[in-house]
Amino acid sequence: VHDCCYEKLTDCSPKSDIYSYSWKTGVIICGEGTECEKQICECDRAAAVCFGQNLRTYKNKYMFYPDFLCTDPTEK
């Protein structure tokens, strides 16, 4: 999902652009910046929230699992 969000960004460099954010009472807040920086931050924020919500079911064996081996369970 995270990489999919990055792929939707146009004229942005999500792997190298730097953005600002803050953490307030358990909420990630994306800071000011260019439109790309804001969008990249939103992708990362959504991923961080998802990771936090699913921490109990995380399996360490998938830490470096190759993307090309992933499949969408809804696609058959």
Give the pLDDT score at 75: 47
Mean pLDDT of the chain: 89
Ordered by start, the domain boundaries in the chain are: 1-55
Q: What is the CATH number of domain 1-55?
A: 1.20.90.10
Is 67 one of the catalytic residues? no
Q: Which residues are annotated as a binding site for Ca(2+)?
A: 3
Spatial CA neighbour of 46 closest among 73, 24, 27, 68: 27
pLDDT tens-digit readout, 17-52: 999 999 999 999 999 999 999 999 999 999 999 999
Judge whether 11 counts as a catalytic residue: no
Catalytic residue chosen out of the listed positions 11, 44, 67, 72: 44
SS3 23: strand
Model pLDDT, residue 32 = 95
* Distant-in-sequence, close-in-space partners of 6: CB < 8 Å, separation ≥ 6: 14, 15, 40, 43
With a cut of 80, say whether residue 63 has pLDDT above it: yes
pLDDT for res 23:
95
